[in-house]
Structure 1
Amino acid sequence: MSGEERRADYEERLQAFTGRELRPRTPGQDPVNQPMIRHWAEAMGDTNPVYTDAAAARATGRDGVVAPASMVQAWTMRGYAATVDPRPGDGDGFEALVALLDEGGYTSVVATDSELTFLRELAPGDRVAVRETVESVSAEKRTGLGPGRFVTTLKTYTDDDGETVATQRWRTLRFCPAAAEEDPAPPPAPRPRPAVNRDNAFFFEGAKDHRLLIQRCADCSRLRHPPGPCCPACGSTDWDTVEAGGRGEVYSFVVSHHPKHPAFDTPYLVAVVALAEGTRLITNLTGVAPEDVTIGMPVVLDWLDADPDPTLPVFRPAPTEAP
């Protein structure tokens, strides 16, 4: 059978459900009753007294309280037990239709609309039954959810005498879910920005050129880091800078697991590196596993250009010198 013949055969089998009974006339488990009416009215916030006050209902010309019209479907709901342990024959037509739709790839469902027509009010003591038939199955439609078919069924609600009290035209879309498009990978989160001020701006400007600058007192030549407005030794506010050679050793370190930050792959190493020039620098260690780091381990300068701004100094293990 060719692909076109298979499609025609499938369409014929699907359209054969038009007019077919999905659910034979099935009485509701309980008659219309006042407690359920009261619960419904409370849940819906409907304060119309004709649903709960017999005197008020009679004042409107009714014989007594009536049920809200929109409750008609509730009187025929089978309850949870019937859905997990149905009686033989229950839902055979419905299950067959769903199986055929699944065969065509229409495995998902969403309700689209429900049109109710009420022919008379229901009162306590009425017993309601429902019968459901297929009214139509549409040709395949292209929808935002994916290709699908609109299935329209007609539920007919009747009383004990077989008289129709309401009808419900129920329409669902059975569709083939569109293939989910993979979301593009989000751009990497930028690293937290340092607080740049007049005292430390030189440090970050030098880092952009891959130069590790250390502040030096212009009077006593003492090096200091972090930068500051005056020399802690002599108090001079005059200073210049020297460029570090980029060698040092691990003075102290921690392995950071928490708190997590999207710019960092945890765990990561934060170390205090003692530079050969005599100052210390808080930095990240790269190119080494946390369990391999030791106090006093020789390290050398590297640069992290994580994003356009800023560039930051990091350190990695110094290469082992040949004997």
Structure 2
Amino acid sequence: MGEDELGARLKAYEGRAATVAGTGKDPVNLPMIRHWCEAMGDTNPAYTGPDAVAPPTMLQAWIMGGLSGHGGHSKAYDELSALLDEAGCTSIVATDCEQEYLRPLRPGDEITFDSVIESVSDRKTTKLGTGYFVTTRTNVRVGPDLVGTHRFRVLKYAPAPRPRKRPPRPRPVVNRDNAGFWEGVAEHRLLIQRCTGCGTLRFPWLPGCNHCGCPDWDTVEASGEGTVYSYVVMHHPPFPAFDPPYAVALVELAEGVRMISNVVGLPCDKVRTGMPVRLEFHSYDEESTLPVFRALEEAV
């Protein structure tokens, strides 16, 4: 269907009924008025007491169908929606509304309403996508009296294609106990803590020695040589920042401590215990550099 033909078919729905003989689910009532005023922070005394009226801007609240709806949409409105869906305009967003108030609503008023498809715009291109603005006008009554008019406008559109941008990897938690380690990583150095009391190396970084309890320490730089002590292959549902499956290994460094990282350089199903690996630093974006280990054996 061409754009001109579609536009003509859409315009043909202008003036046709959108809702017929709708009724408010509840009479105008003080509890709903109170909830509205509390949510809006409106303390106007006109909305409380025996002579209370409803805030004018509550007009739409009395005609809303809630999750179960009113079931009052006309055949014409459903046809219009289906026609837009067929044209690829499957997404919808409310854009704005206009209201006109003719007299205050009071507790006990029973609401009836009907609405009409007032206008369908020409084809428009927005940041969200390309589609059509559909405006409905609803006349709200109490008995035979017109008490207000509510215009509601939506955009039915085909979403604009968005470039797929890979999200950043989750950032490590850096605190006062491990900040020195991450500073070393930024310089492409793998630093291991060494207790100055007993000389024990430790990893991950801790505020004190778990061997002798000494709180003082310095660091040594790892040579980068190691072996796979143990490993798992992650098959979790895809998260955009990662590409499962991938191997996560517990690597035993030549210095004797162990650390968890990724094994790269061969398929994850070829990783095995005892495999020699060597340290590398991978930069995943401008702010994320991580230590990983490259397998030194060829995949069989």
Residues in 1 aligned to 2:270 and 2:45: alpha-carbon distance in whole angstroms = 74
Q: Does 1:149 align with 2:132?
A: yes
| Aligned residue in 2 for 1:268 | 249
Q: Does 1:14 align with 2:1?
A: no
Check conservation: 2:250, 2:258, Cα contact below 8 A: no
Query: Percent identity, aligned pairs only?
Result: 35
1:311–1:51 Cα change, 3 Å: closer
Larger radius of gyration: 1
Q: CA RMSD in A?
A: 4.5
The alignment covers a number of residue pairs equal to 241
| Aligned residue in 2 for 1:107 | 90
Q: How far off is 1:35 after superposition?
A: 2.8
| Aligned residue in 2 for 1:39 | 35
Q: Relative to total residues, which structure has the larger strand share, 1 or 2?
A: 2
The structure 1 residue matched to 2:56, chosen from 69, 85, 88, is 69
| Aligned residue in 2 for 1:169 | 151
> Over residues 166-189 of structure 1, what are the superposed CA-to-partner deviations in whole Å (9 max), with x where a residue is unaligned?
111211111110112111576999
1:315–1:65 Cα change, 3 Å: closer
Is the partner of 1:73 in helix, strand or coil? Answer: helix
1:53–1:9 Cα change, 3 Å: same
Check conservation: 1:53, 1:65, Cα contact below 8 A: yes
**Uncovered stretches (5+) of structure 1, i.e. residues with no partner:** 55-63, 198-203, 205-225, 227-243, 274-278, 319-323
- What does 1:126-145 correspond to in 2, within 5 Å? 126-145=109-128
Residues in 2 aligned to 1:188 and 1:29: alpha-carbon distance in whole angstroms = 48
Q: How far off is 1:66 after superposition?
A: 0.9
Residues in 2 aligned to 1:13 and 1:28: alpha-carbon distance in whole angstroms = 32
**Uncovered stretches (5+) of structure 2, i.e. residues with no partner:** 173-180, 190-200, 202-222, 235-241, 284-288
Q: How far off is 1:193 after superposition?
A: 5.4
1:156–1:305 Cα change, 3 Å: closer
Check conservation: 1:112, 1:171, Cα contact below 8 A: yes
Residues in 1 aligned to 2:116 and 2:32: alpha-carbon distance in whole angstroms = 27
Residues in 1 aligned to 2:86 and 2:291: alpha-carbon distance in whole angstroms = 58
Residues in 2 aligned to 1:304 and 1:188: alpha-carbon distance in whole angstroms = 19
Q: Does 1:53 align with 2:36?
A: no
Residues in 2 aligned to 1:196 and 1:178: alpha-carbon distance in whole angstroms = 39
1:310–1:172 Cα change, 3 Å: closer
1:182–1:290 Cα change, 3 Å: closer
Q: Does 1:93 align with 2:73?
A: no
Which TM-score applies when normalising by structure 1? 0.59
> Over residues 255-293 of structure 1, what are the superposed CA-to-partner deviations in whole Å (9 max), with x where a residue is unaligned?
4899xxx9xx641242244xxxxx979899877879743
1:13–1:29 Cα change, 3 Å: same
Check conservation: 1:269, 1:286, Cα contact below 8 A: no
What letter matches 1:172 in structure 2?
A: V
